[in-house]
Amino acid sequence: MKLILWLSIICAAVLITYPIYHYAQTYGLSLPTDRGHLGTLGDFMNVWVSAANLLILTAVTLYIWKQGAKEDLARERPLLILKEGSLNNAWAIQNVGKGAAINIIMSYKKPGSQKWEIPFIKLFSLAAGESYEIKSFFEASKIGLKYTDISKNVISSLTESHDTEFQIGTNIFGSGVNQYVTMREWDNEPPIPPFRAS
């Protein structure tokens, strides 16, 4: 959108500069003293200046509208955090954002490991303000959550040492989320192969 705004400003500058250049090529750099010629010059310039003003006004209006739409979307964005649950060694996922978190995928890295554990754990959705307590304990150095909002924008939450980082537009798991169990299965029984494939 910024590119469109700058292109509009450049085009407007060209629209204003062209008639001045055209006049200079036709009549020279000196202004006419005859009132008739001055009126003709004013009418000629007025068309181009009006077109430039309309172009700039349209671009600025679109830019302001786009920025407002982005701010509205940010205000309605879901944000998932991990916090301590009511049970010992338990985690709870809570949506502290204003929108619903859809198609939630969770995984974790064991201490000393750089790989996300398989299977991934799937929790379908959490409305704004809702939370879900994970009943099965697991030892982790990092816990990741990937989810979308109602407009299918991808958001990720990464928790490490009780600090949470949000990454908007990023899937921290990459494209390899193809084996999963549901959160209910994870809580009720240890996951064993074969896992579901998404």
pLDDT of residue 148 exceeding 90, the answer is: yes
Looking at residue 41, what is its pLDDT? 65
Between CA 153 and CA 147 the distance in angstroms is 8
Global pTM exceeds 0.75: no
Between CA 24 and CA 55 the distance in angstroms is 24
The distance from CA 133 to its chain's CA centroid, rounded to whole angstroms, is 28
Confidence of residue 71 (pLDDT cuts 50, 70, 90): low
User: Letter for the amino acid at 2?
Assistant: K
**pLDDT of 99-147, one tens digit each?**
999 999 999 999 888 899 888 889 889 999 999 888 776 788 899 999 9
Contact present, 145 and 80 (Cβ < 8 Å): yes
**pLDDT of 40-69, one tens digit each?**
667 767 776 777 777 777 777 777 777 666
Q: What does pLDDT average to over the chain?
A: 78
H or E element in which residue 91 lies: strand 91-95
Among 125, 133, 132, CA closest to 78: 125
> In sequence order, what are the residues at sequence separation of 6 or more whose Cβ sits closer than 8 angstroms to the Cβ of residue 160?
141, 142, 143
**Phi and psi for 135 in degrees, rounded to 5?**
-85, -25
Between CA 160 and CA 60 the distance in angstroms is 42
Among 48, 30, 145, CA closest to 93: 145
